[in-house]
Amino acid sequence: MSDDFDIDVDDLNRRMEGAITSLKHEFASLRTGRASASMLDPVMVDAYGAMTPLNQIGTINVPEPRMVTVSIWDKGLAKAAEKAIVDSGLGVNPQVDGTLIRLPIPELNEERRRELAKIAGKYAESAKVAVRNVRKDGMDQIKKGKSDGNLSEDDQKLYSDEIQEMTDKFITRIDEAQSVKEEEIMQV
């Protein structure tokens, strides 16, 4: 490969890995019928005049398989936290007891399971698009190197194959993560 031209394959790999990390974070927020502290990660509360993550105004615990509790540190934020949970679309009904908010997790019905599986599919597709965009950036760098005369045909082919192989590997990982998550969602 040419000495005066170099594609940062590690950077492309890191960016594709970021798409996988983001996907796993989104999957963690999907409710599967089991209590999970991470299901409250996307909940933002209007606290002290700013939108604040729920986990920064209270302690989130999972005392039993079908219950999540949130112990709010400032009693004045309990109502705002309750409203944020209700408005989040998680499908849970908070029960407020002073500064303690209990979230009983109901069983998921078949229709809701299918809906969540579709949402998981959308998250996976977004991750695939992100990976493909990184691939496109890499391919654009190769084309630019070739048009500038810094990259031979052989080097162009080697870089293209390497980037495509990396892309295929990440797309496979996304597909595997999606099928695991859908299986988890559909499990009764």
pLDDT tens sequence across 2-15: 444 567 888 999 99
**Cα-Cα-Cα-Cα dihedral sign, residues 86, 91, 97, 102:** negative
Domain span at residue 58? 34-104
Rounded to 10 deg, the angle between the 110-147 and 153-186 helix axes is: 170
| pTM given for the model | 0.67
> At 117, which CATH number?
1.10.132.20
Asked if 133 and 125 touch (Cβ cutoff 8 Å), the reply is no
> Do 97 and 137 share a structural domain?
no
> At 77, which CATH number?
3.30.1360.40
> Do 75 and 167 share a structural domain?
no
The CA–CA distances, whole Å, from 51 to 9, 36, 73, 122 equal 37, 22, 16, 26
In this prediction, the residues of the chain whose per-residue pLDDT falls under 70 are 1-6, 31-34, 188
